A = this chain, B = another copy of it.
């Protein structure tokens, strides 16, 4: 079973999005797609005369922004992806976390920063995903969840992908998690796309971090990947579509 996560940079460009959808459609294993937001929500906010509110690269989701991200993530982006997959013969079914109680979350408590209607994942509904996959459907999850009390919540797509992969692994499946982003993999030298690190485990990751080869933006992504591995996911592959398609990219496993 494969969970594929596509991020904002892939979504923002129709060419890379369509490549990603071709890849997803071509997978022979039962597969789940998780997509992020991309820049369209900010464009719609601005078109409606509102300013996106961000802090440390994270959105502050007030009531008006929640409506816009719900419209754009669960409406425009999710339905465009599903329609495109249908045109490729893939029987996709788009889901927010509220649909079938697919992803239950809880509103993040306000600490030093109040993120507003931001949701932290409580549980991904593996029996639902399993049942839909058995019907021959491919779930497409958007980063909107709910709290089961009628409140929708804006939720990090990487976390949803991670929790979905772990939940499916917990249900007895052998799961691979594909993190599709703009680079061919985790690079030894950020300026050399040929310098992809083919394999990482806990030990080699610790070494690369100690020597400063892996730093900055890759660390949360890789910490996330190792959390998936610790949660029973068989492997995590990080790379762009060309890399994923050809079995390259960086493969993360427990050993």
Residues of A within 8 A of B (CB): 44, 47-49, 67, 70-76, 78-80, 82-84, 86-87, 91-96, 98-101, 128, 131, 135, 137, 144, 146, 148-152
Complex Cα–Cα for A150 and B44 (A): 22
Q: How distant is A136 from chain B, measured CB to nearest CB, in Å?
A: 9
Contact of A93 among B80, B99, B149 (CB under 8 A): B99
Q: Which of B49, B73, B99, B135 contacts A92 (CB 8 A)?
A: B99
9 nearest CB pairs, A to B = A75-B75, A71-B71, A87-B150, A71-B75, A83-B98, A47-B48, A93-B100, A82-B98, A74-B75
Q: A44-B48, A71-B71, A96-B94 are in contact. Are A101 and B76 (CB under 8 A)?
A: no
With A47-B48, A87-B150: A96-B72 Cβ-Cβ less than 8 Å? no
Between A and B, 24 residue pairs with Cβ closer than 8 Å are: A47-B47, A47-B49, A48-B48, A67-B76, A70-B75, A70-B79, A70-B80, A71-B71, A71-B76, A74-B74, A74-B78, A75-B78, A79-B152, A80-B152, A82-B96, A82-B99, A82-B146, A83-B98, A86-B148, A92-B98, A92-B100, A93-B95, A100-B137, A131-B135
**Whole-angstrom CA separation of A95 from B102 in the bound complex:** 14
Chain B residues with CB under 8 Å of A91's CB are 100-101
Q: Do residues B74 and A98 form an inter-chain contact, with CB atoms below 8 A? A: no
Q: Copy number of this protein in the oligomer?
A: 2
- CB of A19 to closest CB in B, whole Å: 15
Q: How far is the CA of A92 from the CA of B94 in the complex (A)?
A: 13
- C-alpha spacing A253/B72, complex, angstroms: 42
CB distance from A229 to the nearest CB of B (A): 31
Residues of chain B contacted by A99 (CB below 8 angstroms): 79, 82, 92-94
Contact of A83 among B71, B83, B128, B150 (CB under 8 A): B150
> Are A70 and B76 neighbours in the complex by a CB distance under 8 Å?
yes
A101: B residues at CB distance < 8 A = 86, 91
The verdict on A79 contacting B44 (CB below 8 Å), with A72-B71, A96-B94 known, is: no
For A144, the closest partner residue in chain B by CB is B79
Q: Which residues of B contact A84 (CB under 8 A)?
A: 150
Cβ–Cβ < 8 Å partners of A87 in chain B: 148-150
Q: Taking A146-B86, A149-B87, A150-B86 as contacts, is the C-beta distance between A96 and B70 under 8 angstroms?
A: no
A78 to B71, CA, bound (A): 10
The CA-CA distance from A96 to B76 in the complex, in Å, is 11
